[in-house]
Amino acid sequence: MLAGRRVLITGVITHRSIAFAVAEEVQRQGGEVLLTSFGRARRLTERAAKRLPEVPDVLELDVNSPDDLAALAAELERRWGRVDGVLHAIANAPADALGGDFMAAPPESAEAAFRTSAYSLSAIAAALRPLLAPDAGIVGLDFDASVAWPSYDWMGVAKAALESVSRYLARDLGPSGVRVNLVAAGPIRTAAAGGIPGFDELAALWGDRAPLAWDVDDPAPIASAVCFLLSDAARAITGEILHVDGGAHAVGA
């Protein structure tokens, strides 16, 4: 389904990352991938990359650095000439923006969560816009922002902003044929999830609510949905939030 497509994948930290599962599935479906990382995490990303069927290069990208974004675009132009797909799997919030004391978080922490977790989708799209193929797909990883979750706090607000950003990008990039969608995934036990206070309690909710059940250790269903949205099969879909959570979002408490 992705034969010949060139996909940039952000957010791989370990082989348990959702982004790793996406990279693996893209390769299985015939696509070519490059990964991004930066700082101390880059060594972890490079280690994870060696577990993929075909070992991809890891390019430097701090999404909050305009210089890194410009350098990434230049490198992709040199290597590929075009980009057919992008996975945005970037999110971060300072510790004091999580944990349940929502109103005590300082504005600087809320702003940091927004910039890294939501604005970055627009920053990547803008940097790569000249390289995006006419049928390119951009997919971001979301966590249902329609309700307030325990402990998720300003990251939940940032995810709500991400959902809005994706709709505006869908509006602005649509005339060029570029699609922008999100996958609202159920909770997966990743390294990033380990930094969310109360994650186990949050994940336990899915055991009671998901009609199709939910395995917090299996990101494969999410990867399959992302690949669908990156493919030509989703050519008329943009501005969408696709829930891949066992159906938990559709069932009340």
pLDDT of residue 44: 97
pLDDT for 219: 96
Buried/exposed code over 42-52 (b: 16+ C-beta within 10 A; e: otherwise): bebbbebbeeb
Q: Is it the case that residue 31 has pLDDT exceeding 70?
A: yes
What average pLDDT does this structure show over 33-38? 98
CB 173 within 8 A of CB 216: no
Print burial letters for 176-199: b (CB count within 10 Å at least 16), e (below 16). Answer: eebbbbbbbbbbbbbebbeebeeb
Q: Please report, for the chain, how many H helices and E strands are present, in that order.
A: 8, 7
**The two structure tokens encoding residue 196:** 């969310």
- pLDDT confidence of residue 203: 78
152 is catalytic: yes
C-alpha closest to that of 155 among 108, 116, 202: 116
For 6-250, the fitting CATH number among 3.40.50.720, 1.10.10.10, 3.30.530.20, 3.40.50.740 is 3.40.50.720
Q: Please, what is the angle between helix 120-128 and helix 153-173, to 10°?
A: 30
Dihedral sign for Cα atoms in the order 69, 88, 22, 200: positive
Residue with tokens 């290069």: 57
Torsions phi, psi for 86 (to 5 deg): -140, 130
For residue range 67-118, what is the model confidence (pLDDT) as tens digits? 999 999 999 999 999 999 999 999 999 999 999 999 999 999 999 999 999 9
pLDDT tens across 2-28, in order?
999 999 999 999 999 999 999 999 999
- Quick one: DSSP state of residue 140? E
Listed residue (234, 220, 222, 224) closest to 177, CA to CA: 234
